[in-house]
A = this chain, B = another copy of it.
Amino acid sequence: MSFDGQLPPKTRLLRAAAELLANSAGGAVSTRQITQRAGVTAPTLYHHFGDKEGLFDAVVAAGFEEYVAGERDFAPSGQPLEDIRRMWDNHVQFGLNQPELYLVMFGNIRPESRPAVVADAEGLMEEMLNKAAVAGQLNVPPREAARSILAANVGVTLMLITEKAPERNLELSTMTRDAMIFAVSSEQAKENGPEASGKSSVVVAAIALNAALQASHSDQLSSSELKLFLEWLHRISTSSTS
């Protein structure tokens, strides 16, 4: 149909799959649709991508580049937590702009099998949270914070996708976003518990130091010392109460 041009079949398959995925209104996309649109036959698909999932993975990888590009463009504002907010909003916007692609990336859940793209997104957020941790702005270890925020981010995006476009209320996103960021940040005023603030200064400092040490591979400690040091820091920063 559209890709009779001189592009190599592999590229045509990728484009055809991406376009069909973007335009398929919720319905599944078949390999026959893809190959027909790409102007090739079935074995070509399996020669280049192994199977259908392989093709989709490749499409997702391209989509993920776009996603990451959106994340990185806004990156350095100097205020890591503000950057996390923008990462969150960018995540939601990506999901709403390309719901089908997003569902392939984040919605294709199967038990005990984690898509690589989720781990990548998690790493991206953890990276940013590390900066916040170094600045002493984090209440919990960056990895746990990233997992928690990303889980909420995906949940909100999926819920927004299921809503019809005109009814979408993005306040759901901003509210949940700020709730999560506030929860992991150390700037909260903890007036509930009297002993809570005393403990939190230890934890915040330990988390900050831990992040800082891992970021700038320090040479003040020998490697064996560093290893033990980090183990202790982990024990402190993951302890629930003192």
Binding site for B on A (CB under 8 A): 25-26, 99-100, 103, 107, 109-115, 118, 131, 134-137, 140, 144, 147-148, 150-156, 158-159, 161-165, 169, 171-172, 175-176, 178-180, 182-184, 187-193, 196-202, 204-206, 208-213, 215-216, 218-221, 225, 229, 232, 235-236, 239, 241-242
Contacts and interface: CB of A to CB of B under 8 A. Distances in A.
Given A189-B191, A206-B209, 12 more contacts: A26-B113, A107-B107, A112-B161, A135-B199, A136-B200, A151-B159, A155-B156, A176-B180, A176-B183, A200-B212, A221-B236, A229-B229
A10 to B, nearest CB: 28
A136 B205 contact: yes
Count chain B CB atoms within 10 A of each CB in A150, A155, A236 and give the residue with the most: A155
Tell me the dominant secondary structure on chain A's binding face.
helix
